[in-house]
Amino acid sequence: MATPALLIANVCRAYIQGENVVRVLAGADLEIMPGEMVALVAPSGAGKSTLLHIAGLLEHADQGEVFIGDTATAGLDDGARTRLRRSEIGFVYQFHHLLPEFSALENVVLPQRIAGLPVAEAEARARDILGFLGLGHRIEHRPGELSGGEQQRVAIARAVANTPRLLLADEPTGNLDPTTGEHVFATLSALVKQSGLAALVATHNLELAARMDRRITLREGRVVALP
Ligand code: ADP
Ligand code: MG
């Protein structure tokens, strides 16, 4: 049987807000297989970003376990979590967070250089991905010279630069107009299918959610399947 790219088991996370304890995740379970694209649809404040941050090893669960592939992460120290995150996980946010003084190509090269890839290899891969995402003619441009949709496609290219097994996207089209959002989603979805990547995509867009492999929501801190 294939190993899930992401397996979340009985994850709990609470925040203290003044005098209140907010139980955001309370026994959340989730499994995503390679090549699967899952929509996370839930109202604001339901815990989507918390779930993504815990899945992406950016935040610790109070309880429970997160497997990235075969690796159990709850007992890992920060260094091991960071290395695992860099090699196995890519993030896309609502805002692109590209480095403004670097070109599109350099933005995609950088994480590969940090991972230790030689510059020629990193550039070749960056050209490939940017080309696949329809940005072959834009690689020398800085983020400020790109449209919103182009910026977000560069952010996607950067997220998958180190061939992660898991892509986590937090409302990646939330800041785009519908047509651009549609285009960015189409490229993202082609990339997932082509690469065998597993993707968890938080979105408010029900039309896009309907086109993913399955849909989940958060109810009382647990992951629940949607039709
Ligand atoms: P969503 O992404 O679905 O809008 P979040 O995961 O950002 O939801 O937040 C879920 C709940 O947890 C909210 O009530 C939010 O205020 C609270 N929360 C999130 N992060 C923190 C934090 N660092 N400290 C305190 N409360 C937090
Ligand atoms: Mg959020």
d(CA 147, CA 151): 6
Give the pLDDT confidence of 12-51 residue by residue, as tens digits: 999 999 999 999 999 999 999 999 999 999 999 999 999 9
Whose tokens are 């993030």? That residue is 91
No. of helices (H) and no. of strands (E), the chain = 7, 10
The CB of 20 under 6 Å from ligand 1? The reply is no
pLDDT number for residue 152: 94
CA 95 to chain centre: 13
d(CA 211, CA 197): 16
pLDDT of 163 above 90: yes
d(CA 76, CA 183): 38
Of 226, 211, 175, 213, the residue nearest 46 (C-alpha): 226
Give the pLDDT confidence of 45-69 residue by residue, as tens digits: 999 999 999 999 999 999 999 999 9
Give the pLDDT confidence of 191-202 residue by residue, as tens digits: 999 899 999 999
**Of 20, 23, 49, 216, which is best to mutate to test ligand 1, by the most ligand atoms within 8 angstroms of its C-beta?**
49
pLDDT number for residue 2: 86
Mean pLDDT of 131-136: 94
The CB of 47 under 6 Å from ligand 1? The reply is yes
pLDDT number for residue 168: 98
Q: What share of the chain is helix, strand, coil (3-state, %, to 5)?
A: 35, 25, 35
pLDDT of 1 above 80: no
Residue 100, classified by CB atoms within 10 Å of its CB into exposed (0-12), middle (13-18) or buried (19+), is exposed
**Of 15, 54, 60, which is best to mutate to test ligand 1, by the most ligand atoms within 8 angstroms of its C-beta?**
15
pLDDT number for residue 16: 94
CA 193 to chain centre: 15
d(CA 141, CA 125): 17
Give the pLDDT confidence of 74-127 residue by residue, as tens digits: 999 999 999 999 999 999 998 989 999 999 999 999 999 999 999 999 999 999
**28: helix, strand or coil:** strand
| Residues 25 and 50: beta-carbon distance below 8 Å | yes
Give the pLDDT confidence of 173-226 residue by residue, as tens digits: 998 998 999 999 999 999 999 899 999 999 999 999 999 999 999 999 999 999
d(CA 159, CA 19): 38
pLDDT number for residue 175: 87
DSSP 155: H
User: What DSSP element (H or E) covers 198?
Assistant: strand 198-202
